[in-house]
Structure 1
């Protein structure tokens, strides 16, 4: 998959206060150049996805609306709706099957900056053929038993964060018992305080923290 260069004007990383209500920026979130790059990726989708947005009155929520209004028309396999009920950590986007069943991947904030690419890859893994994964890896992911909830804390400007987000998202897509919540640390400073987070990416599992990028094999070793 190509890397999508999202400019600062297009869902980059403003230090948005969650309580600040404002309309999305008048400029486009997704440039025409990026739409062109997305076309062959979306053409490989075979399954429909619902992106369920749990929103509040924050500026970030307004940006999510703008983002989804631009993204979903680019593929007949994508649609979005606003959640009737929502869990903690507003605002967020939840990736679901067409019937509304959650795939266990939620992005809390606006998937911009370096996380635009990881968000698109997660959609590709859920609705398309997905990125290459060995039979051994896939078997190991599906063999994970029980309910496992992971929190991934990132920054949109972090170059090491997307690898962990994509790996975690792949686990969620392939195993119904795994739930992944990705948090933009700039929108959720309480996580920084609670877990004494000094750097990102930060993985929180069973109230234990692990720093640094991780691939699928490293995640399997950590939570298996």
Structure 2
């Protein structure tokens, strides 16, 4: 068998893992990978919308949601890291995979850094869809067996059960649990664009090096 990690004769059929990443720029690299996961989620959902006669959406919805949530996690961690640098905090970013917890940390850091009310208002407006999605998502997760857990592992889209072998909400619930793919694409295009913009803004501020020449 030919090797997977190898060049294709056609450059457009070759994926370069290091063309967009940069050595010694970890925040930038997190943003690049976040962008990849977000694009993958939207592309998968869009592909299902082009034709779903085989009902493939019923299985690819899991990698769609995993990719979308992981993109959010990486974007928020990159923003968290940049804000921590700007605030001279010792830690890089909030650990774990609980995007609600990371999101709450990011909001606190933003308020600590941004004293201007207009900046805070713009941040809130640009993250409205994200905030709404996290509220909707956790309305599902918090009804799961891990409702009292301090940190959610976001593993519902990776495994049908949690670490205690208890089913997640979509299996435990006898009613249908569904995702509107058209709405998903519409909302996540906006979430992705805005998070990318915010992450880039703070990363540029945090890593800016004055030119004294």
Query: What range is the shorter-chain TM-score in?
Result: under 0.3
Larger % of helix: which? Answer: 2
Bigger radius of gyration among the two: 2
- TM-score scaled by length of structure 2: 0.24
Q: Specify which structure has the higher proportion of strand.
A: 1
